[in-house]
Amino acid sequence: MNQGSIDNATGGESSNSPKQQFPCEYALLKKGVDGSFVAQRLIDMLKARRKRWNTATKSRESFEDYEVQLAALEQIAKLLGLHPTQKELEGRHKPHETILRVEFAEPLAPKT
């Protein structure tokens, strides 16, 4: 969508209007995609299941989809601030340089 169509759709409102500043976010909110919607979808993803072939019963059965569940859990942890950011990880676990001085002595001759 170009700027001209945004101006036409919003009636040429001022540039301080939330419709013009964030057209995609405004459209999502207008359609009902807000924080509670996203939270509900993440909760649904925590219960994700997948149909797979069960060789024991020779039929398709519903099993837990651990990949989707893990992805949802990671997103929830990020939203709640439980998952450290990359900058936090780099600051917390900086590699340290250790210098070891090793001296080799002549091996002792075996006593006879």
Judged by DSSP in three states, 96 sits in: coil
Domain residue limits, the chain: 1-32, 34-91
Q: Which residue has the higher pLDDT, 66 or 23?
A: 66
Amino acid type, 25: E
- The arithmetic mean of pLDDT across residues 81-92, rounded, is 73
Q: Please state, in angstroms and rounded to a whole number, the distance separating the CA atoms of residues 49 and 67.
A: 10
Residue 94 phi, psi dihedral angles, 5° rounding: -70, 135
Q: Beta-carbon neighbour count of residue 43 at 10 Å?
A: 11
- Return the closest-CA partner of residue 72 out of 44, 107, 101, 98: 44
- Return the closest-CA partner of residue 9 out of 64, 29, 24: 24
Residue given tokens 């060789």 in the structure block: 55
56-67 confidence digits (pLDDT tens): 889 999 999 999
32-63 confidence digits (pLDDT tens): 999 899 999 999 999 999 999 989 889 999 99
User: pTM here?
Assistant: 0.52
**Continuous segment of H or E residues that includes residue 89:** helix 86-92
Please report the beta strands in 1-110, taking only residues with DSSP state E, as ranges in sequence order.
Answer: 49-54, 59-64
